A and B are shown apart, each in its own frame.
Chain A
Amino acid sequence: MSGHEQFAEDLALYALGGLQGEERAVLEKHLEECSACRQELQQLQGDMALLALSASGPAPPQRARQRLMRAIAQEPRMKAVPQRRPWWPAAPYLAAAALALAAVLFWKRNDELQGRVAELERQSSQQQSAIEEAKQVLATLTAPDAMRVTLVAAPARPQPQGKAIYVRNRGSLIFLASNMEPLPPAKAYELWLIPMSGAPIPAGMFKPDAQGSATVVNPPLPSGVEAKTFAITVEPESGSSTPTMPIVMVGAGE
């Protein structure tokens, strides 16, 4: 027994590699000065060895032996050569080595903390770039000065066309229309989400611009509704709660 009871339990934790931070630093400093505790540490490592022996299990496969023998055959031995040269020409290297050692020790202490900071920074920057990307997509889709081009086989006249992008779980919808026919006065187009079951759900009113283009971005919709089709009708500007026939455009999921 070391006679240093205050370190007794910490020594066991230290031997097992479980002592961290300041407790570890204090104990390591004490170990430098106390041979009784160093001896106790060796005893504890001996106790650990006994515990390790309880793990008796199967023998390793034969290939492990071949792998090792191959590896050592290929590994040039670093034979210890007695140094007879004076030590002082090595002084700059020793100083550099001491600096390097200090740097490594410092780095080890800070490494864990830095790792956590880096992880948080990485997550934050990932989220930031995801938001930026989403903003850019939305900005392009909704920009009033955006050029909208529909390419069709010449010489066919561009047909009215609508594209709905619907995310069921979020209840989010982006709708883009082009080449829409001009509307009679006091009328507007109304987009409908037609669910697998139940009545059509209004999914936004829109009026095309002079080029026949229009967008509907995230109209208020309940989330989780499975859409069978989307449809467009012509309705009074104030909107309708049920579609007025005829349906001018309709489309199901691709």
Chain B
Amino acid sequence: MPSAEPKGISPDSALVAAVHAGDESAMAQLYDRYASIVYSVALRVLADTGAAEDVLQEVFLQLWRNPGAFDAGRGNLAPWLAVITRNRAIDCLRKRRPETDIEDVIAAVEPDLAGEAERAGALQKIRGLLGSMPAAQRSALEMAFFEGLTHTEISAKTGEPLGTIKTRIRAGLLMLRKAFQT
């Protein structure tokens, strides 16, 4: 939220509006703010710095070409970028054309992730939560999210029933949500 950001720093929505008007320096500011998130997610999925750089470039170019795809009224930029980056990186990993339209991604999150301090706090909390998850649940969640495996593939890999995997994935996501609900 704009109120959470230090004075003198434009909120994301203002920068996105400036990008809409063709302002390259606004784009540079958004890059400086979020490139490390985008790159980290892409690198975690692809485990290859060159491929991660390509996804980084692609995600920010998409924002430049189509800033209207991000709906500031329905979420913050950081989670939106994180999700579209993950989806694009999985598409690259599986060598397929983009499967989701970035305009269809609306990431509603409870914590305010616009500021760096908020993100650092959230990161600590998320890591703590993942650490405390049962190993099988965390592993199912990470295989689905960072490796892009389907529930069927995870079930085949782990030898566990399909229903169990489905439940673990959803329950894992809900645990993250609940940890931030006030």
Q: What residues of chain A have their CB less than 8 Å away from a CB belonging to chain B?
A: 8-9, 11-13, 15-20, 39, 42-61, 64-65, 67-69, 71-73, 75, 77-80
Contacts and interface: CB of A to CB of B under 8 A. Distances in A.
A54 B37 CA distance: 10
A61 B82 contact: no
Contact of B176 (A50, A64, A69): A50
Contacts of A68: 27, 31, 56-57, 60-61
B90 A49 contact: no
B166 A13 contact: yes
Given A13-B166, A72-B24, A46 B61 contact: no
B135 interface: no
Contact of A72 (B27, B109, B119, B148): B27
Chain B interface mostly: helix
B106 A60 contact: no
B99 interface: yes
A12 B99 contact: no
B173 A51 contact: yes
B123 A48 contact: no
Given A12-B170, A43-B177, A46-B75, 18 more contacts: A17-B87, A17-B100, A18-B150, A42-B107, A42-B108, A45-B83, A45-B108, A47-B177, A49-B78, A50-B126, A52-B86, A53-B119, A55-B41, A58-B43, A59-B36, A60-B38, A64-B53, A68-B60
B151 A18 contact: yes
Contacts of B151: 13, 18
Contacts of A44: 173
